[in-house]
Amino acid sequence: MSTLRLRALALLPACLLTPWCGPALAALAPPAPDLAGALQAATARDPETAQLRLRQAAAEAGVQVAQGLTPAPAAVSLNHLSDRLNQNLGRREWEVELGAPLWLPGQRQASVDTARHALAESEARLNWRRLQLSGELREAWWQVAHARTATALAQQRLQTAQALQAEVLRRYQHGDLARLDANLARTETLAAQAELMEAGQKTQQAEQSFANLTGTEPPSTLPPENMPTAGTTADLDHPQWRALQAAATLAGDKLALQSASDRAPPEVAVRWTQQRSDALNPYDQAIGVKLTLPLSSGPRVQQDSALARAEMAQAEMALARAREQIDRAIRQARSELDMALQQLALAQERSQLTADNLQLAQKAFSLGEQDLNALLRARLADHEAQAALSQQTLARDTAISRLRQALGLLPEEAHP
C-alpha cells in the first residue's frame, strides 16, 4: 500500500483529464505542512474573521472612550453680535462658552464594564470563528485524503489489471487460454481505467475545495490528528460556549447601562462675555457658569429597556441551548469513533483473508487448476477489501478530528 503515499499517482489522473490543472496548482501558495498551518492560511483569507477583528479594534477604542472623564468630548462655542448692518453705533458683544457633559450616577462604571465585556465578547467570537473554520478545514482535509486514497487504489488496480492482461494475452497466443479469457482480462483493464478516471476527477474536486478555503495546495501527506486524551471534556473552555457566555454577560451590562442612562447626560459650561453698548463706552466683561439638566423621557426609556431585556433573554436562551448542543455533539462524535474503530478491526481481518485467497487463486491459475473467472473474482474481492481497509483507516482518522472539533480543540502543530 506504499502507493498511497505517492502524490504523483494521486494527481496524475486529474492532470491528464484537465491540462490546465498544472498552472492552476502552481499559482497557489506553498502548502501548509499540517492542519494548524492550513488553519492560519484559512483564517488570513476569511472575510468574517476580518470583520470580527475590526469589531475587536472598535471594542478596544470603546474601552478608552468609557474610561474618559466625560461621556462625550467637550465643546467650544463662539458668539458675536454687532449693529454694523443697521445703526453702526459701535455695539459689540463677544461670547465664548466651554461646555462638557457629565456622567450620571453609576453611568461611568456601567459604561466601563460594558466596554470591557464588549472587548471580551469580540475576542471570544473570534476564537469561535477559528473553531468553525477548523471544522470546515477538517472536513476538506479528509475529503482530499479519501479522494487520494481512492485514486491510488484505482491506480493499483489498473497496474494489476494491465499485468494480468499481458499474461493472459501471452498465454492466449500460445493456445493455453481461450479467447473468452483474453476478453475478460481486457474488460477488467477497461473497468480499472474508468475507475481511475472517476477517482482522479473526485481528487481534483476535493483539492479545489481545499484550495478555495485556504488559498494553498493540499500537502503531499495528510497526517492525522492526535487522539484526545481519555476523559477530555468540553467543560467551560469550548469556544462556542465562551462566546455565548460573553454575549450573555455583555447583554446584562447593556441592561445595567441602560438603567443608569435614564436621561441624557447633564452639561456644565463656563461662559465668558465681553460687550459694550456703543463706541463711547468701554467693554464690560463677565464670567458665568451654566448647568443643563435634561428631563427624563419615560416612553423612550421604557423602549430602550425593553430592547435591552429582550437581547439579554435571547443571549441566555442561546447559552442554555449551546450546552445541550455541545454535549450531544460530543456524544455523537465519541459514538462515531467507537464505530469506526470496530469497523477498522473488521476491515483488517477481511483484508488478511482476501489477500490469502488471492495468493491461492494466483497459484491455482498458474498451475491450470482454476479458470480466469475465479482469479478475477479473487482479485476483485481483494481490491474491495484493501479499499475498505484504507477507507476505514481514514474514517477512524476523520472520526478523531470530528471528536476534537466537538470538544472545541483547535488543530495542533505537528512536531517532527
What's the Cα-to-Cα distance from 111 to each of 70, 116, 173, 304, rounded to whole Å?
Answer: 11, 9, 92, 16
Rounded CA separation 229/14 (Å): 39
**Contact of 49 with 125, CB cutoff 8 Å:** no
**Looking at the domain assignment, is residue 387 inside a domain?**
yes
The CATH number assigned to the domain holding 337 equals 1.20.1600.10
**Looking at the domain assignment, is residue 292 inside a domain?**
no
In the prediction, which pLDDT does 17 show?
Answer: 36
Domain limits at 59? 2-74+105-264+300-406
Rounded CA separation 65/241 (Å): 28
**Looking at the domain assignment, is residue 82 inside a domain?**
no
In the prediction, which pLDDT does 84 show?
Answer: 74
Distance linking the first and last C-alpha atoms of the chain: 23
In the prediction, which pLDDT does 89 show?
Answer: 75
In the prediction, which pLDDT does 235 show?
Answer: 67
In the Cβ-directed half-sphere of 358, how many Cα atoms lie within 13 Å?
18
**Looking at the domain assignment, is residue 284 inside a domain?**
no
In the prediction, which pLDDT does 28 show?
Answer: 56
**Looking at the domain assignment, is residue 335 inside a domain?**
yes
**Tally of domains within the chain:** 1
How does pLDDT run along the chain (416 residues), one tens digit per residue?
A: 333 333 333 333 333 333 334 444 445 567 777 899 999 999 999 999 999 999 999 999 999 888 888 888 888 999 888 877 777 777 788 889 998 998 888 888 999 999 999 999 999 999 999 999 999 999 999 999 999 999 998 998 899 889 888 888 888 888 888 888 889 889 989 999 999 999 999 999 999 999 999 999 999 989 999 998 876 776 678 999 999 999 999 999 988 888 888 788 888 889 888 887 776 777 788 898 988 888 766 677 777 788 888 888 898 899 889 888 999 999 999 999 999 999 999 999 999 999 999 999 888 888 888 887 888 888 888 888 988 999 999 999 999 999 999 999 999 865 54
Rounded CA separation 191/193 (Å): 5
| Other Cβ atoms within 10 Å of 8 Cβ, number | 10
**Looking at the domain assignment, is residue 411 inside a domain?**
no
In the prediction, which pLDDT does 234 show?
Answer: 66
**Looking at the domain assignment, is residue 348 inside a domain?**
yes
Please, which residues bridge with residue 269 across strands? Answer: 99, 290
In the prediction, which pLDDT does 264 show?
Answer: 80
**Contact of 143 with 209, CB cutoff 8 Å:** yes
Report which of 184, 318, 138, 171 is spatially closest to residue 242, judged by C-alpha positions.
318
**Contact of 203 with 148, CB cutoff 8 Å:** yes
In the prediction, which pLDDT does 415 show?
Answer: 52
**Looking at the domain assignment, is residue 80 inside a domain?**
no
pTM equals: 0.77
